[in-house]
Structure 1
Amino acid sequence: MTALAIETETASAADTAPASRCVITTDASYAARLAHDGASPASWFPERWTLDGPEPYAVPLPGNQPEEPGTDVLPLADGRVLIRRRADGRHLFSLLYPTGPGTGEVPLGAVECGGAAELTLLPPAPDGRRAYALAVGAESTDVWLVAGGSFGPEHVAEVPGRCSGGVWLDRAGRLLAVDRAAPGGGPVKTVAVDLERGGEVSPLLQITEESDDRLLLADLDSGLILVRSDAVKPGELRLGWGVLGSTLPLRFPQGLRLADCALTPFAVQPGQTLLPESCAVAFRIDGPEGGAPWLGVWRPTEGTMHQLAAPVGWLAGSGFWSKDGVLSLPYVTDDVSCGLARVSAPEPPAPREPAQSAPGAPAAPRPVPLGQAPLGGRKAGG
């Protein structure tokens, strides 16, 4: 199940609140967030949600002292939660797990980022056992395996340029897509990093030489990808879609444009093998005046973005689809400490919308290098 992508450019001020962040495992068995007990402004603690039972339930994982608001958490498929804390320029990693009334903690070690380097956790790896982080420096970006290795954090790759984002391209957790600004400046392009070949970098998404091209989501069942680019009109970032391994151009339909609103895709319906145009995609929608975001649901076969009210207390930008088209949205209210609101995707209409292609896209390289495309080279329909 594709859930939760990193997209920093369109994040609103509400995203800076730790309680609004919720990270979900690829198989949607667990989630983790930094919760608040309401006692004082400093009372933050990790919380694990179990999602694969009849009803979701939360387990608090408090440490010996409250956590800082900027602390990151990430769930693993075995139920443990990775936590990243900062201390004196170092990033300390541990695994947390419930032990009766208390919290067990396994220290994993630290990553020291010199100078102005930044470190961010990548989305959960597809196997659910490992966790990775990007350490962004002035001229290059280091990829670290911070959980699931043989001993402590392990440096696995150095990528020239400043990288952001992070989308997994295969179920083995070998190919990682990152958005890279090349050393010395220039447009942002998505590249694929092969973590089993010393961080070998291959071109992934380049619509035109001058355009900024970023990969936002990739579904490994259908091959559907969501991108953001200014290739159609320089200086104007637009959302588009395509298919992994396809030689047909990316498309930038009007249905992925809402006036004065920021759209961020966060989940793709899984299980639609060889049917990318039938996948339902969930979007977070932020309005021009701020306030609470709401929900969008769209399919490539449709010309309409269905706009729906989000549940009260939605942990905005997080959720996951079932194979039969039911979207689960985690939420927290004063009365519900761990809830999942379920929304069925609207039925797709028969007609489909003409799409606008990016200039130069027919000559674009295959979206996955090294012959690793899940769909092998299947052409996108329509």
Structure 2
Amino acid sequence: MTVCAIEMTTTTPFTIAADGSYAARLAGDGQARYVERWTLAGPEAYAVPLPLAQPEEADSEVLPLADGRVLIHRRVADRHAFALLYPTGAASGPRTGQLSLGAVDWEEGVLVTMLPPSPDGHSAFALAASDAGTTVWRVAGGPFGPQQVARVAGRCSGGVWLDRSGRLLALDRELDGAVKAVAVDLGCGEVSPLLQITEDSDDRLLLADPDSGLLLLRSDAPGEPRLGWGVLGSSLPVRFPDCLRADGATAVPFAVQPGQALMPETCGVALRLEGGGLALWRPADRHVFRLGAPVGWLGGTGLWSAEGRLHLPYATPEVPCGVLGMSLPVAPPAPVRVDPPPPAAAARPVPLQQAPLR
């Protein structure tokens, strides 16, 4: 395992496609911003600039698709405009092609943001949130321009995919003074409870792995904001490991090891710590490994492989497009202990709704 010195994470957003094939970010400085696409599927990562005649605004959002095109969300006058960028490969003329996908009207008090890349690889969704309610828009992958696919009461944030088809989406909904994660079926628009640990607690879903069902969450139900984990569809209670308590209020899980079917305890989890640090952990272990992140780590992001390697993108003047690989160290043996049986209240196998604390 190679570990570099800790350095503050680069604030430039860096987004990796759901299948890990491509990534995208806004590169450049000041008034000379442009979209840059990274290819990650080959033996060595490389970057392709996608500049246009007019520089991009610093608050534009980018999202890579599995076919190599990059979706960009721009604020243009009184609209939120969406387009696909791609390299043309022409020997002369513009190096970047652009396909307009349409726009969503700007409204006072409505925040429009991109959701994480869809697992299907070709669709893209945006969230338009306000106190009056939240709309989920499909902005790419539909038969025509932006299309409303769901409406949710309350102001929603976050966004975690619960399946591999891109149909089930978890959102953190603020309603009646509390935040609860809900599941949204984008096929029919149905909304159902997902996290409800106590009536008054704020229960947010941070990350999910569809293969194993592992869910990473943050809740103040234990009396303070804590990181916890559970299993989608399981009758087992939510667990809040003591080893995660020190970082429970601020740490952000950003990658989970895939391919561990029915074995959530064995999944490697990568966490971004406050100040740009990095930590690795598994639910089966009672130990957190705090490690040095690579210099120039982009956006605090990364991708686990099914083989257990964590890949972290970074960019420095010497290495403008680099990926550092590391493995989860072996945890020290845990002391033998006998856990009490789960409370009887956890008998219903619902997706962590009203799951008791443990």
TM-score (norm 1): 0.85
Give distance in 2, aligned partners of 1:239 and 1:260.
5
The change in CA–CA distance for 1:242 and 1:129 in structure 2 (over 3 A counts) is: same
Give distance in 1, aligned partners of 2:248 and 2:263.
31
Report the alpha carbon displacement of residue 170 of structure 1 after superposing the two structures with TM: 1.1
- In the alignment, structure 2 segments of 5+ residues that lack a partner are 1-7
Report the alpha carbon displacement of residue 357 of structure 1 after superposing the two structures with TM: 11
Q: Kindly, what percent of the aligned residue pairs are identical? A: 58
Matches within 5 A, 1:1-382: 17=11, 19=12, 21-36=13-28, 38=29, 41-100=30-89, 102-182=95-175, 185-197=176-188, 199-233=189-223, 236-258=224-246, 262-287=250-275, 293-351=276-334, 362=346, 366-367=350-351
Give distance in 2, aligned partners of 1:309 and 1:30.
25
> Which sits farther off after the overlay, 83-92 or 142-151?
83-92
User: What is the identity, as a one-letter code, of the residue corresponding to 1:189?
Assistant: K
Give distance in 2, aligned partners of 1:175 and 1:14.
31
The secondary structure found in structure 2 opposite 1:52 is coil
Q: Contact between 1:332 and 1:339, CA under 8 Å: does it hold in 2? A: yes
Tell me the alpha carbon deviations over residues 68-121 of structure 1, each in whole angstroms, 9 at most, x when there is no partner.
Answer: 100000000000000000012311000000012510000000011322100010
The change in CA–CA distance for 1:226 and 1:260 in structure 2 (over 3 A counts) is: closer
The change in CA–CA distance for 1:139 and 1:25 in structure 2 (over 3 A counts) is: same
User: What is the identity, as a one-letter code, of the residue corresponding to 2:268?
Assistant: A
User: What is the identity, as a one-letter code, of the residue corresponding to 2:31?
Assistant: A
The secondary structure found in structure 2 opposite 1:173 is coil
Q: Which residue of 2 aligns with 1:6?
A: none
The change in CA–CA distance for 1:351 and 1:328 in structure 2 (over 3 A counts) is: same
Number of residue-to-residue matches in the alignment: 342
Q: Contact between 1:206 and 1:365, CA under 8 Å: does it hold in 2? A: no
The secondary structure found in structure 1 opposite 2:225 is strand
Give distance in 1, aligned partners of 2:308 and 2:181.
29
Tell me the alpha carbon deviations over residues 127-174 of structure 1, each in whole angstroms, 9 at most, x when there is no partner.
Answer: 101000100122100000000000011111111110000011111111
User: What is the identity, as a one-letter code, of the residue corresponding to 1:331?
Assistant: Y
TM-score (norm 2): 0.90
Q: Which residue of 1 aligns with 2:5?
A: none
Report the alpha carbon displacement of residue 324 of structure 1 after superposing the two structures with TM: 1.5
Q: Contact between 2:64 and 2:71, CA under 8 Å: does it hold in 1? A: yes
The secondary structure found in structure 1 opposite 2:81 is strand
User: What is the identity, as a one-letter code, of the residue corresponding to 2:33?
Assistant: W
Give distance in 2, aligned partners of 1:286 and 1:361.
35
Give distance in 2, aligned partners of 1:153 and 1:206.
32
Tell me the alpha carbon deviations over residues 199-244 of structure 1, each in whole angstroms, 9 at most, x when there is no partner.
Answer: 11111110011110011011011111100001111xx211000111
